[in-house]
Each structure stands twice: as C-alpha cells, then as structure tokens.
Amino acid sequence: MPPRHSLPEALLASLSATRGRSDRLTHTEHLPARPARYSPWPDSIRPEIVASALALGVEQPWAHQAEAMKLAKTGHTVVIATGTASGKSLGYLAPVLSDLLEGTEARNGRGATALYLAPTKALAADQRRRAAELAPPRVRAALYDGDTPPEEREWVRQYASYVLTNPDMLHRGILPAHPRWASFLKTLRYVVVDECHSYRGVFGSHVAQVLRRLRRICARYGSSPTFMLASATTADPAATARRLTGLPAEAVTEDASPRGPMVFGLWEPPLTENVGEHGAPVRRTATAEAAHLLTDLVEQQTRTVVFVRSRRAAELVALQTQDQLGRPLADRVAAYRGGYLADERRALERDLHTGRLLGLASTSALELGVDISGLDAVLMAGYPGTRASLWQQAGRAGREAQGALAVLIARDDPLDTYLVHHPEALFATPVEATVLDPDNPHVLAPHLCAAAAELPLTDSDLELFGPSSGPLLPILEQRGLLRRRTDGSWYWTRRERAVDAVDLRGGGGNPVQIVESPTGRLLGTVDASAAHTTVHTGAVHLHRGRSYLVREFDLDNSVALVEPADPPYTTAARDITSISVLSTDTTVEWGEGRLCFGSVEVVNQVVGYLRKRISTGEIMGETKLDLPPRTLRTRAVWWCVTEDQLLDADILLDQLPGAAHAAEHASIGLLPLFATCDRWDIGGVSVPLHPDTHLPTVFVYDGHPGGAGFAERGFHRARQWLTATRDAIASCECERGCPSCVQSPKCGNGNDPLDKAAAVRLLEVLLAGAPAAEEPGEAGAGSPTEAGAAAEANPGPAKPSGPEQSRPDDPADQQGPADQQGPADQQGQATEGS
C-alpha cells in the first residue's frame, strides 16, 4: 500500500496513467490541509464526559464544538453546520450526556431524557455506539426503530434515558402512543436532529411537521426541549433549522477541525464503439467505469467506497468488480443499499468498520455520518444531485486527517458532462440551501389530522402549525376527517390511525414486498412510487448480485413475485404523461414569451417495457403492460414562446416537437445545479401547442404531491438555469444529440423526436427576452407560495401505510419521477413524466 502522505497523488496518477486512461481526467483540484483550532472544555460539561473524551484521545474540543456546547447549555436552538468528520457528534453529545448524567442523580422520577433522530437506521445504530463510548453505563442509550423487537420496546419506553430513532418511528410509534411515553416526554431535555440537510423537499416538509407535533405533545407534559441539529455544510443553516423546528436558531459554521490534503479528480468515461438511439455516440457507463477503477484500487489494498445513484447500480458495481478481481479479493467487495434485511445491513456495516471489506458499492445510505473511518478513496459514479451531497460523499475518505482521493465519474448525462468540463461550478460555487415547504397543504393537512388524533386541536395550536393550518381545518371537516366540538377544538373522527395516512418519505402507499416465489423468502422491498417502473411483470430485478425475473406484480397486495433467472437483457419501463394547468400563481413576461409558475395535474401511466441487451444496449423488443394510471397534483414552472419567436428562431413547425422535447430533456438535466434536487425529484412535459396556454410550452414539475420547492427555485433562477441549459447543448461535440446533451436515459419514447440545433435556437430566442435580473426577486429557499392552494390541492390523508412500518435505510435512493418519455398524444405532446 502506498505511504499515506503520497496516497492521493499516487493513486490518481496510477488510475489515469494505466489502461489508456490519460485523457479521461478532465480536471484535478488540490485542496490543502487545514490545521486544527482548539478551545477549553466549557465548565458546563460534566467531568465524566471530559474523562471519557480524554480516554478516546480528545484532550480539548475543537473551537466549533465548544461553541455549540455553550449555546446548547444556555437553551438556544443550535445547528452545527461544518464539514464531514468535523466532530459534530461530540458537539451535541457532550451537553446532552452531561444533562442526562445530572438527571440520573435526581431522587424523584425518571430523570432527564433526550431523543436523537437520524434519517437512517444505520446512522442511529452508529450513534448509539458513540454515546456508549462517552457516557457512563447509568446513561441508558437504546435504539427504537423498525428493527427493535417488540419485547424490547416496552423497556425503552419505561427506562431508556437516551432514545435513538428516526422521524418515521417518532411519527408512527411514539407520538400516537404518547400516553405510554409520558414519563419520557415529561422530562425531555434535548432533541437532536442529525444530518438535517437530508430533510429536504417533501420528506423535509413532513419531518418539519412531525417536529411541530412533538413540540406540542411535549408542552402538554410540561417540557420544552432544546433542539440541537447537525448538518453538512449548507447555505443558511440557521434558516433551515428554523424551517424544520419552527424555532429561531443559532448556526455554528466556522469549521475548526483539521483536514488532510485532498486530491479531487473529475473523470469522463470514454466513448464506446456502440451507438445509441438514432446513431448517437455512447460513453461507457459511470457504473462500469467505477467498477474498473474500484478493481484497480482494491488490488492496491486501497479502502474505497463507490457511491452510486440507485440500488441496481450498487449491485452491478459490486458484481462487476468481483468478476474482475476473482478470488480471494472478490470476497472483500460487497454492495450496500436499502431494501436489504436488517441482519444483512448490520453485517456489512461491521465488515466495513473493521476493515474486512476493501471495496463497497453503496447508495446514499453511507453518505451520512456513519463512522467508516480509515477510507483512502471515494468514487462517485455520477453527480449525487447537490454540491452538499458531493462534499458529504467526498468527505467519507480521509477521516483521520490523512490525505484522501475523491473522483467524480460523469454519467452520460447533460449535468454530469457540464460539471466535469466546468469545474468552477463545483469548486468555486457555494453549496445550496435546503429547500422545504412545511406549509404545502398536501403535507400539512394529514399532519393536522394526526395532531388532532393525538390531542384535540385548539386555536392556540394554529400558530405552531403555520398560517395555512386555519383555512385547512374547515376543508378537513367537510371531508369528514375532523369535527369541531362545542368548545372550539377539533378532533379526529375515524377509527383508523390518522398517522397511517402519512408517508414521510413521500412515496405514498405501502412498500411493495419482493418475494422469491419458489421459496417464499422475502428478498426486500421497493417503494410504491417506484414499483410500477421497477418491479412490473417481466422486469429484471437484481438482489445481492443475483438476477431475478418478476413473474407477477400484485398491485392489490403490494407484492412482486420473482424467480431466479439470468436473462441477457435489462428492462426499462415506458410510460405516457399528460399535463394540465390548474392555476397560475405568477406570470413574468419574457419579451414576447412568458415564464409561469403555478399548480398542475399530471396523469402518468406505465404502458410497457423495453428489453435491452446487456452487452450493447440494443433494444431486443417491447412488451405491453396494463397498469392503472396515476394522477399527481403538484407545482410546476413552464415557459411559452409565440409563433413570431419561432419564425425569428428559424424553427419550422415540423421541427418544433423535437426542439421543445430536446430543450425539456436538457433543462431537467440542468435544474439540479440550481435547486436542491436531482433528476429523480422532477419531471417534465413539452407540448408544441398546449390546450391551456395555446402556445408551444415546456413544463418542469415537482414529482411529489403538492410540490417540493424545486420548480419554484427553477422559476426564481430561470435565466441562469436556461442559460446553462443552452450552453450545455451548444457546447456538446455531437452532431445530432446524445446522452451528454439532449437524450434522456429514461426516455420512454425512444428519444424521438429530438432536434439539438433547433433546441439551441429555441432557448436563444426565449432568453433574448429574459429580464436582466431574476424576476420576481429571489425568494428565500423553500419559501412557501401555497397561499390559496389549499382548496385546489384536495389535501388529506392518502392510502394507509401500516403501523410502525420500517422504512428504507437510504431515503435518497428512492426513485421519484420516472423521468421517462411517453409517445406523443393528439396534441403532439412529448413527456419526461412522473
């Protein structure tokens, strides 16, 4: 193994110099080391905690840790927003455990308690271990999640002083059963919200309302806990913490931890001999390239994690690397993703922590703060969607201040291609703000029902839940969900649990269980929102390196029956999508064209799937499917051009569908550069003549009921966003359009029609009328614009999801909008629909 001081440079040189790869490295960024800054232990931290820290080698806290400790001990809501491996855990654990130790000395009652919330079960389990290292045994730390056996849950309720769980279990298991948790809630001193930057979009909006429900229940029992939040580096973390908790917050952002040097490479896979749809050149996939690089790194005994964008990709990278390595090294490479059973996940986490595994292909489940110290390199097979996630993933390596290597491998995608050739967009641009909107009526309405079921709602509660809550209550009463008593309070009217109608992860409906039909063995689960496109009848499903064929997709019982198989093809679903405008909130004139933001209804139906040969991507055939359509009411940004503008752009009527379609594909691909989202969070539709606007129109919409704030951010930054879209198309070297500019890998219409040159002219004529400054003025990240949308949004509980249901470990790995192209309808509509 190379010496650590030369590891990053030596590794990158080795990877790029061998096997004819010298032209694949498009940029190298050298990030210098940073020295540590220390502060004395605050007097408020108990000597037992200081002694434990000293035993772990921590003589003094870093300056930002000490600052967070002081703020928390004075009762401030505080968010620690510093880099990966900056010791955020100690920053919140020291004050929390100090108070819990004081609570154990109380002679009466249970003593002080604290609640820890993590977005994944793996992170909560890791934090329990860290708490045990710092706290004496009399601080009783316990996990409470979907994997906790029923017999242990009662002990946790009655005796644990530090409960580590996730928002899903707080929502489904703790708040509805608050009388059983009375002794815990009565003395609740702290609530820790870890990795709070991951609570974005619809998921973050749901969590914000869960935290408001928690504050309300705590007040009922006479407690007012202090909130401590930890976040990766993000824009305006205090505002994020305020939106999540509803409380004013202090941000600690000056990172005083030491950092070793990092070498960060941008990598573009080579063109292959294959040609894609319509003869377009095709690059080697990011996952295949990652498998080749991981093979080289493992052969050099380099501990490496590959971050991929999907569960299937995690399986493929691990399988290809194992095949290339052979035994015995193949046994030291594995995949890690959500959908595995609990025992499988825990075993992989142990093997990674102990170093038995040299290579791991993971979804974003390991992006968060799970301790995987000792890594030498991180490969990212595709841009993870935000700069915050990029730096979070890169920071997994070099966690002991040693040098580290990070490599971003571009997918054949407009955004990835743009980034590896525009490094300033990554290295000279601040990270994004976290976008969430707790006032979204689709989010707020079912939480009002859940709150009313926990305790009848009163007028004094409305300030806590936000200004949109008052107008929603009469609507919920009309729907027979709430009823008003003579004393003015509102209560839940139904026998079923109100919380079962709320899916925090935004998928909606029960997860689909994947069952091996010959044995009845449960292989895993897939979210309801992704099931139509991933486990339909005939789909190829991968699990732990083995291929399965879906023999039956039972919609009524949420079960996909699979059989072991080894087909020479993969499958890709095809769908059709239509869109209609429900209301227009804002219209901005762009010369003769216009830019709009408002509410839309999207109807999507999976109608078939393609079989693609694994070796070449060749389409082997298409099979029809008969699945029911799905309707989505959401928020969208759209732009229109006039006939005169088309004449100015020299776009003929027969070129218009291809021009609009290509511009739509590319704009969807580039929006993640300007909003905290990725391509799976959004969808789009292009229509040569839309019946509602009566003009050629391109829509980009949020792929979640009621919206998630992404289309709104695109609306506010439309000039920059569409300028980057035009530049990305124009700068691509292909002749007619390829996956690096206007082709979508998920286009169910075979990327037809597409007209690259006409798309550039279309965007140029639109941008010629754009205001010099963004109009209207830039709104705050996630600022609610749902006023008046409550009635139209038809809010209320969705399909129940089951009590205390265990949720996936990697929320970001859930596939949102299918981003697939459907055939044109009677209006010539082209779609990349949800």
- Which spans in 428-527 are helix H? 441-454, 462-465, 469-478
Tell me whether residue 503 is in a domain.
Answer: no
Encode 92-108: b = buried (16+ Cβ within 10 Å), e = exposed. bbbbbbbbbbebeeeee
Per-residue pLDDT tens digits for 443-460: 899 999 999 999 999 999
Q: Is 304 found in the same domain as 171?
A: no
Question: Given this model, what pLDDT does residue 614 score?
Answer: 77
Question: Given this model, what pLDDT does residue 367 score?
Answer: 64
Per-residue pLDDT tens digits for 356-401: 899 999 987 776 656 666 788 999 999 987 888 898 889 888 765 6
Question: Given this model, what pLDDT does residue 306 score?
Answer: 96
Q: Is 605 found in the same domain as 734?
A: yes
Residue with structure tokens 């390239």? 289
Three-state DSSP at 165 gives strand
Per-residue pLDDT tens digits for 693-712: 999 999 999 988 888 888 99
Domain extent, residue 756, equals: 575-778+820-833
Closest CA to 122 of 184, 214, 194: 194
Q: Lowest mean pLDDT: which of 200-214, 482-496, 793-807?
A: 793-807
Containing H/E element for 262? Answer: strand 262-267
- If pLDDT is split at 50, 70 and 90, which confidence band does 804 have? very low
Q: Lowest mean pLDDT: which of 78-82, 465-469, 593-597?
A: 465-469
Q: Lowest mean pLDDT: which of 276-290, 529-543, 803-817?
A: 803-817
Q: Is residue 15 within 8 Å of residue 252, measured between CB atoms?
A: no
Question: Given this model, what pLDDT does residue 385 score?
Answer: 78
Q: Which amino acid is at 451?
A: A
Tell me whether residue 590 is in a domain.
Answer: yes
Q: d(Cα 116, Cα 191) in Å, to the nearest integer?
A: 6
Residue with structure tokens 């194992």? 322
Q: d(Cα 589, Cα 215) in Å, to the nearest integer?
A: 44
Q: d(Cα 113, Cα 135) in Å, to the nearest integer?
A: 14
Q: Is the peptide bond before 776 cis (omega within 30 degrees of 0)?
A: yes
Q: Is 619 found in the same domain as 737?
A: yes
Q: Is 408 found in the same domain as 327?
A: yes
Would you say residue 352 has pLDDT above 90? no
Q: Is residue 403 within 8 Å of residue 263, measured between CB atoms?
A: yes
- If pLDDT is split at 50, 70 and 90, which confidence band does 650 have? very high
Q: d(Cα 113, Cα 236) in Å, to the nearest integer?
A: 30
- If pLDDT is split at 50, 70 and 90, which confidence band does 297 have? very high
Q: Which of 372, 399, 427 is the last residue of a domain?
A: 427
Closest CA to 685 of 668, 705, 710: 668
The tokens describing 391, both together, are 């730096």
Q: Is 597 found in the same domain as 536?
A: no
Per-residue pLDDT tens digits for 573-607: 888 889 999 999 999 999 999 999 999 999 989 99
Would you say residue 782 has pLDDT above 70? no
Tell if the pTM clears 0.85, that is, is over it: no
Q: Lowest mean pLDDT: which of 134-148, 293-307, 497-511?
A: 497-511
Residue 548 region by backbone torsions, left for phi larger than 0, else alpha for psi between -120 and 50, else beta: beta
Would you say residue 241 has pLDDT above 90? yes
Q: Which amino acid is at 260?
A: G
Query: What mean pLDDT is predicted for residues 83-95?
Result: 92
Question: Given this model, what pLDDT does residue 66 score?
Answer: 97
Q: Is 581 found in the same domain as 555?
A: no
| DSSP conformation letters of 39-100 | -PPPTTS-HHHHHHHHHTT-SS-BHHHHHHHHHHHTT--EEEE--TTS-HHHHHHHHHHHHH
Closest CA to 832 of 636, 693, 649: 636
Would you say residue 68 has pLDDT above 60? yes
The one-character DSSP state at 115 is E
Tell me whether residue 458 is in a domain.
Answer: no
Q: Which amino acid is at 327?
A: R
Q: Which of 537, 567, 597 is the last residue of a domain?
A: 567
Question: Nearest 5°: phi and psi at 709?
Answer: 95, -5
Percent of the chain scored above 90 by pLDDT?
Answer: 58
Closest CA to 113 of 155, 70, 160, 74: 160
Question: Given this model, what pLDDT does residue 640 score?
Answer: 97
Q: What torsion, rounded to 10 degrees, do the Cα atoms 800, 805, 810, 816 define?
A: -10
Would you say residue 22 has pLDDT above 80? yes
The number of distinct structural domains making up the chain is 4
Q: Is 54 found in the same domain as 154?
A: yes
Q: Is 147 found in the same domain as 105?
A: yes
The tokens describing 188, both together, are 């609740």
Containing H/E element for 290? Answer: helix 286-299
Q: Which amino acid is at 575?
A: D
Would you say residue 425 has pLDDT above 50? yes
Q: Is 376 found in the same domain as 350?
A: yes
Angle at 310 between CA 815 and CA 346, to 5 degrees: 110
Tell me whether residue 448 is in a domain.
Answer: no
CA distances from 524 to 543, 561, 748 (A): 8, 11, 27
Q: Is 606 found in the same domain as 629?
A: yes
CATH of the domain at 369: 3.40.50.300
Would you say residue 823 has pLDDT above 80? no
Would you say residue 116 has pLDDT above 70? yes
Q: Which of 379, 402, 427 is the last residue of a domain?
A: 427
Tell me whether residue 32 is in a domain.
Answer: no
Q: d(Cα 722, Cα 203) in Å, to the nearest integer?
A: 27
Q: Is 684 found in the same domain as 729?
A: yes
Tell me whether residue 24 is in a domain.
Answer: no
Question: Given this model, what pLDDT does residue 751 score?
Answer: 77
Out of 126-130, 700-704, 756-760, the most confident range is 756-760
Q: d(Cα 768, Cα 762) in Å, to the nearest integer?
A: 10
Question: Given this model, what pLDDT does residue 96 score?
Answer: 97
Residue with structure tokens 């139209």? 792
Tell me whether residue 35 is in a domain.
Answer: no
Closest CA to 117 of 461, 438, 491, 369: 369
Percent of the chain scored above 70 by pLDDT?
Answer: 87
Would you say residue 83 has pLDDT above 50? yes
Tell me whether residue 33 is in a domain.
Answer: no
Q: Is 555 found in the same domain as 581?
A: no
Quick count: other Cβ atoms within 10 Å of Cβ 431? 19
Q: Is residue 526 within 8 Å of residue 571, measured between CB atoms?
A: no
Q: d(Cα 465, Cα 449) in Å, to the nearest integer?
A: 12
Q: Is residue 224 within 8 Å of residue 91, measured between CB atoms?
A: no
Would you say residue 784 has pLDDT above 60? no
